[in-house]
Amino acid sequence: MDKIKKILEDKVVGAQLYVYHNEKNLKYYYGKASILNNKDISNKTIFRVASISKVVVAMGALKLMEQDKLDINQDISNYLGFKVRNPKYPNDIITTKMLMVHTSSILDGYDDEDLSHDGIEKGYNGVNGKRYDVKLKDLLTNTNSEYYSDNTYANYAPGENFAYSNFGTGILACIIEKCSNQYLNDFLRENIFKPLNIDASFKAFEIINQELISDTFYYADIENKFLTNVTAQNFIATTYNNFELGNNFRGPAGGLYISMQDLGKIMQLLMHDGSYNEIEIFKKETIDLMLQMHYLGPNIEYSAKGLQLKFVDEIDNVLLKGHTGTAYNVRSFMFFEKNSDFGVCFIMNGGKYQDVTATFNDIQYEVLKYCYENFYLKTAKIVTIDKDLNVWSNQRKIILNDMKIESDKLYLSLIDLANILDVIPKITNEGIFVNNLKIQSKDNFIDLEEVLNILKVKYQKEGISYKIGF
């Protein structure tokens, strides 16, 4: 791992890496968890992982779906106990699935990076980080509330466009609480954390081994050195108290505390059909649904998403699924490729970074590239489509959303094509491209056979049935 050390040296205070490949685990750690206390990073060091947290919240919602307590395609009003509508589109429902795909039209409110709004405590960004009680209803529907903001809702209809929303994950957490009649942490501990034997929580003071929590750091140009940003003790002391069930919307979007080796266990649930070491936590069909692409669009940073999973292809055009995290100068990611049984969890608690792609900074990119080049092994993939249009990709079920049949030819929507080929089509002003090759769309449908021929993918066809090999 000398290469990893070279990538991190003099650029990062502390880091932790976990790589899973073909039933083997690789763990690496580097640097300091605390400069003030001269404490080293270990494999057991626990970090606030930022937006990777969203994946775990989504898994909680899907566990409720398995328990028949939540229908992700139904109106969220049914679960929250009050009517939620974008006031500009009062007849359009907002669903749990929209929250997980960031198409709900619910926004974070005032831009928290816009200093002109400093001190305005309205909307999600206005009250996020504040420890006083705010009711979810006051942010979403109560226009007379001092916390309500017109900026909470977009100017487009629910389901129409993508807009990354931390508030959406907070609302998802509230739905989990209302459906389970438990606090988010209690529900996740009972259904995910405890069965996996992991020390994790969305509340730092509930971590069992609090002495393992890392500080965070930033680089001070004037002093020419790293300084402490937030200490572990500060994370613990400023943790939100439990408010009334269904009102704990602050924290879930980025507040999970966990080590990379324990996050690796959660990642393996996604890689292995819901099981870890023969312990079944989720049903296979639940994980299949989560791993399917549910959003595809022109947004450069988030062009494709599963259910709270970010899809990227910036390393050798291989489609990886997972999420990134950014907060308090922490940078993290969890990405995996199921077919090849390959996954990486990585975090830095502070460093000197430069963004090099839409997804990764220079250090993240180099670490992921190293892991890919040394541990990823491409595995053959077979996609079958039967006469009843049941689709399987290496035993993972794909549900087609929109298709038509004409003269024994199968025409697919672009997102269905993306799911079958396991690619992220690029949508540009010049057209649609897959692997840098232009494909044709007519009336929003694409001829599957024509695309396979353009891409020179081998296949067998009988009527509308296909066997496609990659």
Q: Tell me: the pLDDT tens digits for 170-189?
A: 999 999 999 999 999 999 99
Do 364 and 335 form a contact (C-beta atoms < 8 A)? no
The residue written with tokens 């023969």 in the block is 278
Say what the pLDDT of residue 118 is: 62
The rounded distance, in Å, linking the Cα atoms of 202 and 254 is 8
What would the pLDDT profile of 384-437 be if each residue is shown by its tens digit? 999 999 999 999 999 999 999 999 999 999 999 999 999 999 999 999 999 999
Give the pairing type, strands 14-21 and 24-34. Answer: antiparallel
DSSP structure class, residue 469: E
What would the pLDDT profile of 2-55 be if each residue is shown by its tens digit? 999 999 999 999 999 999 999 899 999 999 999 999 999 999 999 999 999 999
Determine the average pLDDT of the residues in 122-143.
96
Where exactly are the structural domains of the chain? 2-49+192-276+308-375, 62-180, 382-469
DSSP reduced 3-state for 285: helix
Establish how many alpha carbons lie within 13 A of residue 78's alpha carbon, considering only the half-sphere containing its beta carbon: 11
- Rounded to a whole number of angstroms, the CA Rg of the chain reads 22
Whole-Å CA distances, 348 to 199, 219, 329, 452: 19, 13, 8, 41
The rounded distance, in Å, linking the Cα atoms of 49 and 368 is 17
What would the pLDDT profile of 91-121 be if each residue is shown by its tens digit? 999 999 999 999 999 999 976 545 445 667 8
The rounded distance, in Å, linking the Cα atoms of 73 and 78 is 11
Say what the pLDDT of residue 179 is: 99
DSSP H or E stretch at residue 374: helix 362-375
Percent of the chain with pLDDT over 90: 95
Say what the pLDDT of residue 300 is: 81
Say what the pLDDT of residue 99 is: 99
The rounded distance, in Å, linking the Cα atoms of 264 and 253 is 19
The rounded distance, in Å, linking the Cα atoms of 469 and 381 is 6
The rounded distance, in Å, linking the Cα atoms of 79 and 179 is 7
The rounded distance, in Å, linking the Cα atoms of 10 and 363 is 12
Looking at every residue in the chain, the average pLDDT score rounds to 96
Say what the pLDDT of residue 216 is: 99
**What string of DSSP letters covers 18-78?**
EEEETTEEEEEEEEEEETTTTEEP-TT-BEE-GGGHHHHHHHHHHHHHHTTS--TTSBTHH
Say what the pLDDT of residue 117 is: 58
DSSP structure class, residue 364: H
Say what the pLDDT of residue 115 is: 45
Is 139's pLDDT higher than 70? yes
∠ CA(175), CA(177), CA(181), 5° rounding?
Answer: 130
pTM (whole model) above 0.75: yes
3-state secondary structure 185-239: HHHHHHHHHHHHCCCCECCHHHCCCHHHECCEEEEECCCCEEEEEECHHHHHHCC
Do 99 and 171 form a contact (C-beta atoms < 8 A)? yes
DSSP reduced 3-state for 363: helix
Buried residues in 370-386 as b, exposed as e (16+ CB within 10 A): bbbeebbeeeebebebe
The residue written with tokens 């232009």 in the block is 438
Is 230's pLDDT higher than 90? yes
The rounded distance, in Å, linking the Cα atoms of 6 and 106 is 43
Say what the pLDDT of residue 114 is: 53
DSSP H or E stretch at residue 365: helix 362-375
What would the pLDDT profile of 49-81 be if each residue is shown by its tens digit? 999 999 999 999 999 999 999 999 999 999 999
The residue written with tokens 């081994």 in the block is 209
- Looking at domain 2-49+192-276+308-375, what is its CATH homologous superfamily? DD-peptidase/beta-lactamase superfamily (3.40.710.10)
Is 251's pLDDT higher than 70? yes
